[in-house]
Amino acid sequence: MLERRKPIWVKEAIDYVMQLKKHGDTEIVSIDDCDGRFLAEPLVADHDVPPFDRSPYDGFALRAIDTKKASGKTPLTFKVIDEIGAGQVSPFEVGCMEAIRIMTGAQIPQGADCVIMLELTQEEQRSEGTFIAIKRSLNKGDNISYQGEDTKKGNLLINKGVAINPGIKALLATFGYSNVKVSKRPVIGIIATGSELLNPDENLVPGKIRNSNGYMIESQILRAGAKFKRYGSISDNLDSLFETIMIALNECDILITTGGVSVGDFDYLPEIYRKLGANLLFNKIAMRPGSVTSCAEKDGKFLFGLSGNPSACYIGFELFVRPYIRYWLRSEQPFLRFIRGTLKKDFLKANPFSRFVRGKIVYENGMVFAEPVGLDKSGVVTSLAWADCLIILPGGTRGYKKGDQVELLILDDQLGCDKPWVEAKFSK
């Protein structure tokens, strides 16, 4: 008899997944390998930056008080007692009517309290040494980058669970992290199911298509910050599929399958969950595409059964797998970020389920608009390549019109959000 499934809300499906969320282990990696990894500890300044008062210009360090009477008509002359470049520290103290030639980045010498740029001085060689003339007065602190002005020792700079980007890597180097403590990436097994599937290097033959979902999910896993293990594509055969799933479950932290989760004669995932004795959390969600997205748990490990339809598969991953991964990596903002925008085209197809329409963000006159891209069908693959957001059209009876305000889930985003998009009836 055909199994009847009861759809649950997107919010409920997210809750089911996040109820079992956990942090992964940590590991130490070299700074050379830290790009894109997620910090396992907050990054705190362990010294002032800059660590000493320094010159932001090539010029002369002197005492402001000695410059007070300088003007175009009455230039003042200072004796140059030393010269220092960045990395050097002068052993001399700047005294009355004295200056030290100083280059950008060098530590301000003792006695000096301001710097004048080279261009504003005139140098003169005399038998007693080098002198400069200046034609303007300076104030204490002029052209000095003070110790700690960038950040002070003890300041929290970056939270744990944040992906290391070029700026963060610069901070790691600044604070001497030649090794960085990061969250260990979960290993996620991917099994593409379907007797119709060919590898990318195989020629098309009647009735067959190439396995695109497997590769797409690999890429989504990497973007989310995890690692994948490829188990290839397996024909719709209960025994071989069960066997591969057993192996993968043993070898991986999380397992993703694509295809075979609906009610078709060769959709074996429901039977496999039963055979495994896994705890089925859901197998129908009130959303399109991705309504058949399923999730089961076995001995603390998730089996995400994503749809075979490419767009449904993609969205199932972003809504349910990604936050689980990001939390594993200690992100405090594991969910897709959402913003408001204006719909650029009518979308009149009403649906009782919430729709996640592949879209593109367009900025016009400082405003955010979203435009649906490609054919809005669950089996479509092309639109995924053009989409940078999912336009949410909450379930209801009416369609949506150009100019309507909608919410947009941002894809390809590192910032994330501390709460997920949920149906209006659940949002506070």
> Residues in the site for ligand LQZAQKY5, rule: CB under 6 A?
192, 194, 196-197, 209, 211-214, 258-264, 267, 289, 291-292, 307-310, 312, 378-379
Please state the closest distance from residue 25 (CB atom) to ligand LQZAQKY5, in A.
31
**Nearest approach, Cβ of 378 to ligand MOO (angstroms)?**
3
| CA neighbor of 359 nearest in space, from 379, 383, 377, 378 | 383
Q: Does 291 bind ligand MOO (CB under 6 A)?
A: yes
Whole-number Cα distances in Å, 69 to 65, 97, 349, 384:
9, 12, 79, 70
Question: How far apart, in whole angstroms, are the C-alpha atoms of residue 375 and residue 150?
Answer: 50
Out of ligand MOO, ligand LQZAQKY5, Mg ion, none, which partner does residue 189 contact, by CB within 5 to 8 A per kind? Answer: none
Q: Give dist(CA 63, CA 110) in Å, integer.
A: 10
β-pair type (76-84, 98-102): parallel
Q: Which helix (H) or strand (E) holds 129?
A: strand 129-134
Q: Which of Mg ion, ligand LQZAQKY5, ligand MOO, none has residue 310 at its interface (CB below 5 to 8 Å by kind)?
A: ligand LQZAQKY5
CB of 314 to ligand LQZAQKY5, least distance (A): 11
Q: How far is CA 421 from CA 17, 113, 168, 291, 388, in A?
A: 14, 54, 28, 16, 17
Q: Give the range of 149-157, 282-290, 317-325, 367-375 binding ligand MOO by CB under 6 A.
A: 282-290
Is 89 or 263 the residue whose CB approaches ligand LQZAQKY5 more closely?
263
378 binds ligand MOO (CB under 6 A): yes
Q: Which is nearer to ligand MOO, 292 or 409 (CB)?
A: 292
* Residue 212 interface partner, choices ligand LQZAQKY5, Mg ion, ligand MOO, none, CB cut-off 5-8 Å depending on type: ligand LQZAQKY5
| Binding flag, residue 290, ligand MOO (CB under 6 A) | yes
Side-chain-facing half-sphere of 37: CA atoms under 13 Å: 23
Nearest approach in angstroms of CB 235 to Mg ion is 14
Nearest distance in Å: CB 272, ligand LQZAQKY5: 12
How far apart are CB 282 and ligand MOO at their closest, in Å? 12
Residues that bind Mg ion (CB under 5 A): 262, 264, 267
Determine if 288 is a binding residue for ligand MOO (CB under 6 A). Answer: yes
CB-based contacts of 167, cutoff 8 Å, min separation 6: none
Question: Is 244 or 378 the residue whose CB approaches ligand MOO more closely?
Answer: 378
Contacting residue, 107, 147, 257, 307, with ligand MOO by CB under 6 A: 307
Give whichever of 145 and 294 is closer to ligand LQZAQKY5, judged by the CB atom.
Answer: 294
Closest CA to 124 of 60, 71, 64: 60
The residue within the footprint of ligand MOO, chosen from 292, 325, 357, 387 (CB under 6 A), is 292
| Position 284, amino acid | K
Residues 338, 410 contacting (CB under 8 angstroms): yes
Q: Which of 238, 55, 319, 41 is nearest to 156 (CA)?
A: 41
| Total residues belonging to the chain | 428
Min dist CB 41 to ligand LQZAQKY5, Å, is 38
- Cα 230 from chain centroid (whole Å): 24
Q: Does 289 bind ligand MOO (CB under 6 A)?
A: yes
Q: Which residues contact residue 170 at a Cβ distance below 8 angstroms, ignoring those fewer than 6 apart?
A: none
Q: Give, as ranges, the residues between 312 and 371 that touch ligand MOO (CB under 6 A).
A: 312
DSSP for 332-373, please give it.
S--BPPEEEEEE-S-B---BSSEEEEEEEEEEETTEEEEEE-
Would you tell me which residues interact with ligand MOO (CB under 6 A)? 288-292, 307, 309, 312, 378
